[in-house]
Structure 1
Amino acid sequence: MKGVLLPGQRQVKFKEFPVPEPGHGQVLVKMKASSICGSDIRAIYREHLGKGPEAYQNVIAGHEPCGQIEKVGPGCKRFKAGDRVIIYHISGCGVCWDCRHGYMISCTSPLRAAYGWQRDGGHADYLLAEENTCVALPDALSFVDGALVACGFGTVYEALQRVDVSGRDKVLVTGMGPVGMAAGLLAKAMGATYVVGVDISEARLSFSKEVQAVDDIVVSDDQAIKRLHEMTDSHGFEVSIDCSGSPAARHLALEGTRRWGRCVMVGEGNTINFDVSHLLIHRQITMYGSWVTSLGHIEDLVERLVRWNLHPEVTVSHRFTLDQAEEAYRVADAGQSGKVCIVME
């Protein structure tokens, strides 16, 4: 089978691999969709961080996989050949506190291995997965929908639950890449009355408005905070979520948060420097960090997407075949598109 490796320095390499055989508790999944995450671009495609949970081990790339089970190994308890599945993209030790609560992302065991980072991922014809990392994909959702749930939509659903978004809230999203679009769509589905997106890219802002991820858009410049205050009658937003990882955008998210409001950070990388007393303490803001999600919350999200008739694939602006992976990564790296997805259906 064909698989994609990411050697770094913005290179994409194709290599032939044998089709794996599922062992005990494993399933062989025929890949149908495998989308590209901003973390893949930041930490693997451009460079190899080489340490911690983001250490890339020269495996088949792609940590947002979705497909159909081709074969099951001995000891499988739930899934069978023919089942449509999303793969939660981290396989943990299974016995620590985090794993037992479904948060394999936070497993600190040496046995932890993320698909596409430390074990083979979804940019291939087949993927060998642990059955306990599979989530059933309902017929009402497409394989592309499922791939986007595997990381991006799951990540922001966790964050929005953490800050308890509801119909009481106006929501500010800084960073309108694919994760920001997911945040806007889910915030609206969860009842937010007004969602505003901020970005430096007018192309991404325009696309966000086109797919109805936001109600209004603001270009990030030195007048952005003024416009955000005008949009909220000088009150600010009950909830803000930074999906950019940019120091300036994070600061803007805090500035735009209403007194007694909640601010959650999900964008990876970089730092932030601010006057804690002025921006956080005196304004009584609660600040959260949120990293990916749990298996249970992905299952919950999948059920709600069907109920809401919400399809994550609306955020996809570019689709490529596996053979076009090099171009797919170039488009994603440019940072001007919606979600980029490799489709094998």
Structure 2
Amino acid sequence: MKALKFNGVWDVSPVEVPSLQCLDPDDVIVSVEVCGLCGTDVGIITGDYSVAIPGTTLGHESTGKVVKIGTAVTRFKVGDRVVINPTYSCSECRMCQTGNPNHCERKHGTEAGVSYNGTFADQYCAKENSLLHLDDHVSFEEGALTEPLSCTITGVDKLNITHTDIRACVIGAGPMGMLYLWSLHLRGVNAFLVEKNEHRHRFAKGVLPEEGRIYKDFEKAMREEYGSDDERLDLCVDTTGYLSEVVFNRLAPGGKLLNVALKDYTAKLNVLKIADKSLSVIGSIDSLNQSFERAYVMIRDGKIPAAKLVSHTFNFNDYLQAFSMVGCDIAAKRQKPITEPNCKVLLRISSHQ
């Protein structure tokens, strides 16, 4: 079978590997249908997020069909359509015991697409408790957004929104930005969106929530939304990591800044303001508090326009073109601006079965 391996920074290649077998009683072998390209994958390839073990198969946003089951598996049978939760937790370490299983101390060696062979491959070995049934009316493509949506639900939970009549914005109209915009909308928060790239901007305009607004510049957005350069913001989700200082200086008392960008970038924040203005600076990653299950229900019930957020699906052999679409030029070993409208990009794996 084929698998897309990470060998080192800017070194990614498809290789032939043996088909998978169930080794433990609760193992389930899934034939992967589609897998989404994530910012984590891009960060690993470019070296911006140096966490992956060389030799690991990339990919973690995926759906597929069960092809083999272990002797103790009771919830799934061969042929079942499934969504794969790639986040491992042991339930026993200090992080798990203190409510942070997304930071499980035994995660190393078990994290799909990072330290454990992921889902840019014909097959993936999952545990029974890491799978959800994919309803017949939900496409494999829609289901693949469950994992990124679960991460946004985790972040929105951390914001502890108690009032919906607040001033809010989301920075970045990539997949995470769009999912955060919709997740906030479903919590009753009408946030505006900022995206400077004209192509991402153009795509996002067609998938905004009702009464949604999008701008290319944060400062201009603040003026147009609230009338002056002195107005303040109550809540901001920055998916880019590059506007944290700018946004921080425009937070109202009690304001919250949520950063979800995996960027090695340093920002200067005034500690006095954090205390004196009761500001919150929050980080978030991965699934937490059943956010994976909750995300799937939102997609299943049509609360999130998952199908519309999938802009492109490429065949496995076209992985270079797929990554180039999101600004990761593996062949040239460089990052580049996005040059055509897109949002969530998927690889179709099943054609290699």
Q: Kindly indicate whether the alpha-carbon contact (under 8 Å) linking 1:25 and 1:131 is maintained by their aligned counterparts in 2.
A: yes
What corresponds to 1:239 in structure 2?
235
Structure 2: distance between partners of 1:226 and 1:316: 29
Structure 1: distance between partners of 2:98 and 2:119: 25
Answer yes or no: is 1:39 the counterpart of 2:40: yes
Q: Kindly indicate whether the alpha-carbon contact (under 8 Å) linking 1:91 and 1:112 is maintained by their aligned counterparts in 2.
A: no
Q: Note the C-alpha offset of 1:127.
A: 0.8
What corresponds to 1:227 in structure 2?
221
Q: Note the C-alpha offset of 1:4.
A: 0.9
Structure 2: distance between partners of 1:285 and 1:107: 28
Once the two structures are aligned, what percentage of the paired residues are identical?
Answer: 23
AA aligned opposite 1:329: F
| Structure 1 unmatched ranges of 5 or more | none
Answer yes or no: is 1:22 the counterpart of 2:22: yes
AA aligned opposite 1:310: I
Answer yes or no: is 1:186 the counterpart of 2:200: no
What corresponds to 2:271 in structure 1?
276
Answer yes or no: is 1:339 the counterpart of 2:344: yes
Q: Note the C-alpha offset of 1:36.
A: 0.8
Structure 2: distance between partners of 1:48 and 1:200: 21
Give runs of ≥4 in structure 1 deviating > 6 Å: none
Give matches, 1:106-255, under 5 Å.
106-109=103-106, 112-150=109-147, 152-165=148-161, 167-192=164-189, 194-212=190-208, 215-220=212-217, 224-233=218-227, 235-246=231-242, 249-255=243-249
Give the 3-state SS of the residue equivalent to 1:69 in structure 2.
strand
Q: Note the C-alpha offset of 1:328.
A: 1.0
Give the 3-state SS of the residue equivalent to 2:345 in structure 1.
strand
Structure 2: distance between partners of 1:127 and 1:102: 28
Give the 3-state SS of the residue equivalent to 1:287 in structure 2.
strand
Structure 2: distance between partners of 1:80 and 1:237: 50
Structure 2: distance between partners of 1:309 and 1:93: 31
Q: Note the C-alpha offset of 1:283.
A: 2.8
Structure 1: distance between partners of 2:55 and 2:282: 33
Q: Kindly indicate whether the alpha-carbon contact (under 8 Å) linking 2:20 and 2:125 is maintained by their aligned counterparts in 1.
A: yes
AA aligned opposite 1:89: P
What corresponds to 1:66 in structure 2?
63
CA displacement 1:106-159 (0-9 Å, x = unmatched):
111265521111111111111111222223333343212222221x21111111
Higher share in helix: 1
Structure 2: distance between partners of 1:236 and 1:302: 35
Q: How many residues align?
A: 333
Q: In 2 relative to 1, CA 9–301 (structure 1 residues): closer, same or farther, beyond 3 Å?
A: closer
What corresponds to 2:332 in structure 1?
none
Q: Kindly indicate whether the alpha-carbon contact (under 8 Å) linking 2:154 and 2:289 is maintained by their aligned counterparts in 1.
A: no
Q: In 2 relative to 1, CA 154–8 (structure 1 residues): closer, same or farther, beyond 3 Å?
A: same
Comparing 27-36 with 56-65, greater Cα deviation is found at 56-65
Give the 3-state SS of the residue equivalent to 1:168 in structure 2.
coil
Q: Note the C-alpha offset of 1:233.
A: 4.6
Q: Kindly indicate whether the alpha-carbon contact (under 8 Å) linking 1:178 and 1:338 is maintained by their aligned counterparts in 2.
A: yes
AA aligned opposite 2:196: I
Structure 1: distance between partners of 2:75 and 2:125: 16
Comparing 119-128 with 259-268, greater Cα deviation is found at 259-268
CA displacement 1:299-333 (0-9 Å, x = unmatched):
02222333343232322222101111121112222
Comparing 282-291 with 165-174, greater Cα deviation is found at 165-174
Q: Note the C-alpha offset of 1:160.
A: 1.0
Choose the corresponding residue for 1:290, options 262, 279, 284.
284
Q: In 2 relative to 1, CA 168–79 (structure 1 residues): closer, same or farther, beyond 3 Å?
A: farther
Structure 2: distance between partners of 1:77 and 1:257: 51
Q: Note the C-alpha offset of 1:25.
A: 0.9
Q: In 2 relative to 1, CA 238–110 (structure 1 residues): closer, same or farther, beyond 3 Å?
A: closer
Give matches, 1:250-329, under 5 Å.
250-269=244-263, 270-278=265-273, 280-294=274-288, 296-329=290-323
TM-score of the pair, normalised by structure 1: 0.87
Q: In 2 relative to 1, CA 3–55 (structure 1 residues): closer, same or farther, beyond 3 Å?
A: closer
Q: Note the C-alpha offset of 1:33.
A: 1.0
Q: Kindly indicate whether the alpha-carbon contact (under 8 Å) linking 1:240 and 1:262 is maintained by their aligned counterparts in 2.
A: yes
Q: Note the C-alpha offset of 1:101.
A: 8.1
Comparing 155-164 with 82-91, greater Cα deviation is found at 82-91
CA displacement 1:31-60 (0-9 Å, x = unmatched):
1110111111112x123865xxx2323121
Q: In 2 relative to 1, CA 148–307 (structure 1 residues): closer, same or farther, beyond 3 Å?
A: closer
Q: Note the C-alpha offset of 1:99.
A: 4.3
AA aligned opposite 2:140: F
Structure 1: distance between partners of 2:49 and 2:282: 25
Q: In 2 relative to 1, CA 256–69 (structure 1 residues): closer, same or farther, beyond 3 Å?
A: farther
What corresponds to 2:331 in structure 1?
none
Q: In 2 relative to 1, CA 49–188 (structure 1 residues): closer, same or farther, beyond 3 Å?
A: closer
Q: Note the C-alpha offset of 1:276.
A: 2.6
AA aligned opposite 2:343: G
Structure 1: distance between partners of 2:55 and 2:300: 36
| Structure 2 unmatched ranges of 5 or more | 329-335
Q: Kindly indicate whether the alpha-carbon contact (under 8 Å) linking 2:33 and 2:64 is maintained by their aligned counterparts in 1.
A: yes
Give the 3-state SS of the residue equivalent to 2:346 in structure 1.
strand
